[in-house]
A and B are shown apart, each in its own frame.
Chain A
Amino acid sequence: MTSLHAVPHSPSASSLARLLACSFACSALLPPLLPARLPGRSLGARPSSLTARPGPSPTRPPGPLWGLLLPPGSFRLPGPQPRRPDARRRAGGPTERRRHRRGACVGTQMAAPVPWACCAVLAAAAAVVYAQRHSPQEAPHVQYERLGSDVTLPCGTANWDAAVTWRVNGTDLAPDLLNGSQLVLRGLELGHSGLYACFHRDSWHLRHQVLLHVGLPPREPVLSCRSNTYPKGFYCSWHLPTPTYIPNTFNVTVLHGSKIMVCEKDPALKNRCHIRYMHLFSTIKYKVSISVSNALGHNATAITFDEFTIVKPDPPENVVARPVPSNPRRLEVTWQTPSTWPDPESFPLKFFLRYRPLILDQWQHVELSDGTAHTITDAYAGKEYIIQVAAKDNEIGTWSDWSVAAHATPWTEEPRHLTTEAQAAETTTSTTSSLAPPPTTKICDPGELGSGGGPSAPFLVSVPITLALAAAAATASSLLIW
């Protein structure tokens, strides 16, 4: 593309060239500028990207095409290169550049009014872009405020009586919230968090930005410690009883008497750390303190305990309950010591088993001093059972939580099928007929026997009788079984 300030030799050809160049430039350049000028969107701030990343400069380059159309030497617009977050005001003032450009455009306006109008548009747009890009572009000021409180946001260094408009995340705010040029927010709610920007009312010049986070100071944290890997060590975990909605930092210290112990952060969980026992059978208590702080406040708590009191194994694993063949009142239960317990040989566990049929609420309990198996001998026949096991160190600490439940139903004798009963009854009609009164068997008409299709006729007649007999036999046998 030819540059806008080139002056060709023949006037007609040059003006046409200029017209074409300018039209092309206008049609190419206007689309990138248009979105910036739409009402409802601030010229300066790009809220969607900003709320995600507070800090870098809000503006984007107006469009990549600037660089293609304007030689860098003549119009030093800050367009082409990607914008750096900490870019400052350029050495040359904005006005100087505008003059330069206008002058260049004026030089061509003798030829045709259309290219001049186009240049004017371009110049104005460039000026606006330049202005917005060279306003104070410091990173938004991050501010934390307490939920429910009132806050007044000044518009940077602007005077109290300056005419400004405030926007939050790109949406205009009503002027009745303003106190002069300051934004007043009362009774802060979580929804008030966002990027607040104030602009010069007329020029849309971005004056100041505040990234507001609404939250709470931390309440006393809840801290607990437990040893499920005795005698290797123990872990402590913590949490806040209510959320603060803003980032918190935790600091844990572990003291054994006067000795400071290292609490290693858990690789997976961010609110847990692990301590290794150096000595066993200590009479000196452990003291674990935690402090939590955020931008709005600070809190702390501590707990002290003896080595033995925090011992609580994990529940037993792989609890399996099986029926015992030929024993309708027995269930065989097996389980394994928790895999986290490091030394079951020297630190044996005892177990507590509880079971009940699903239909009842009351549990039966059995305490087992060793072994990882037990046979229940008083199960109700045919009822499904739920069984759980818990573990505890033989001498110290507390019981683990209950294991995952196992379900099982004791062995029951297999019921005989109805079809086999019917066939049995049919083949033994001669014997069963003795049960039935003799006249019924003689319903079968000898005349029909001779006339009909052979064996099918008597079968058809005797079917209802055999069915009735079969039913009677089935009920009789079921009564015997059950």
Chain B
Amino acid sequence: MLACLCTVLWHLPAVPALNRTGDPGPGLSIQKTYDLTRYLEHQLRSLAGTYLNYLGPPFNEPDFNPPRLGAETLPRATVDLEVWRSLNDKLRLTQNYEAYSHLLCYLRGLNRQAATAELRRSLAHFCTSLQGLLGSIAGVMAALGYPLPQPLPGTEPTWTPGPAHSDFLQKMDDFWLLKELQTWLWRSAKDFNRLKKKMQPPAAAVTLHLGAHGF
């Protein structure tokens, strides 16, 4: 599996948080982050379609259902229902942040190998948007007073030329990367929905209901 140098990423999002003045509150940042996940998910749909067509069959077939072999280092969005429900805010945000950091790294690796210029352009654009999402998440964490996850010295991902991968296995890794990215974006939307509801002042919700029923 591809491993890459990503130390730059870990420090980048901290800067916008420090520059924040007159913070309107985490609610607005959460809404913005939520909107970003929706935008990215929409963007990914067209990107994934193009990329899978580039990979060719069977990757671009709708019924393609391979076993999850390899791609162990990809951050997995799947989680037990009760565990997900009971995640505290800090853990929820941290998991999102770490996932996208890794995914962005892998995507950049993908971009390096992409054959056509068109594909490289789309991938680069997506990477930029994904970086924006990371920054947004970092902003929310800072606003709520949570520290950004710092990579432990041993686990810092570094570029090493991996074992000679067959062409097919490489494509399988790409397939799983895109799949995991899409699933994470859906999960993040739900995560930020949950955070948004928590941040909402309860009084506002009550008045909304009263107005709706016209009493």
Contact = CB atoms under 8 A, between A and B. Distances in A.
A346 B190 contact: yes
Contacts of B77: 281-283
Interface string B162-196: 00000000000000100110011011011001100
Interface string A344-364: 011110000000000000000
B212 A257 contact: no
Interface residues of B, number: 30
Contacts, number: 74
Given A257-B68, A258-B67, A395 B212 contact: no
A52 interface: no
Interface string A237-277: 00000000000000000000110000000000000000001
A305 to B, nearest CB: 9
A109 interface: no
B76 interface: yes
A199 interface: no
B76 A395 contact: no
Interface in A391-407: 394-396
A334 interface: yes
Nearest to A285: B65
A281 B194 contact: no
Interface stretch (B17-25, B79-87, B105-113, B115-123): B79-87
A345 to B, nearest CB: 6
Contacts of A258: 67
A371 B208 contact: yes
A316 B59 CA distance: 38
B63 to A, nearest CB: 6
A481 to B, nearest CB: 27
Given A285-B65, A334-B212, A371-B208, A308 B186 contact: yes
Given A280-B81, A283-B68, A334-B213, A347 B190 contact: yes
Given A283-B77, A371-B208, A348 B193 contact: yes
B102 interface: no
Contact of A280 (B84, B184, B214): B84
A282 B84 CA distance: 13
A342 to B, nearest CB: 11
Given A334-B213, A372-B212, A394 B193 contact: yes
Contact of B179 (A277, A280, A283, A346): A283
B22 to A, nearest CB: 27
Interface string B73-102: 000111111001100000000000000000
A279 interface: yes
B125 interface: no
A243 to B, nearest CB: 30
A348 B190 CA distance: 9
B45 interface: no
A332 B213 CA distance: 9
B32 interface: no
B78 A373 contact: no
A278 B213 CA distance: 38
Interface string B43-84: 000000000000000000001010110000000111111001
A346 B192 CA distance: 9
B79 A395 contact: no
B193 A371 contact: no
Given A279-B81, A280-B81, A346-B85, A304 B63 contact: yes
A334 B213 CA distance: 7
B197 A346 contact: yes
Given A334-B212, A373-B212, A283 B180 contact: yes
Contact of B197 (A345, A372, A373, A396): A345
A44 interface: no
A283 B183 contact: yes
Given A257-B68, A258-B67, A304-B63, A279 B190 contact: no
B213 A231 contact: no
Given A332-B214, A373-B212, A373-B213, A282 B183 contact: yes
Contacts of B84: 280-281
Given A281-B183, A283-B76, A372-B212, A395 B189 contact: yes
Given A283-B77, A394-B189, A395-B38, 10 more contacts: A279-B78, A279-B79, A283-B176, A284-B78, A332-B214, A346-B194, A348-B197, A371-B208, A371-B212, A396-B186
Interface of B: 38, 41, 63, 65, 67-68, 76-81, 84-85, 176, 179-180, 183-184, 186-187, 189-190, 193-194, 197, 208, 212-214
13 contacts: A257-B68, A279-B80, A281-B78, A281-B84, A282-B78, A283-B78, A284-B68, A304-B65, A324-B214, A334-B213, A346-B190, A346-B194, A394-B193
The 10 closest A-B CB pairs, nearest first, are: A373-B212, A281-B77, A281-B187, A282-B78, A395-B189, A285-B65, A283-B179, A279-B78, A283-B183, A346-B194
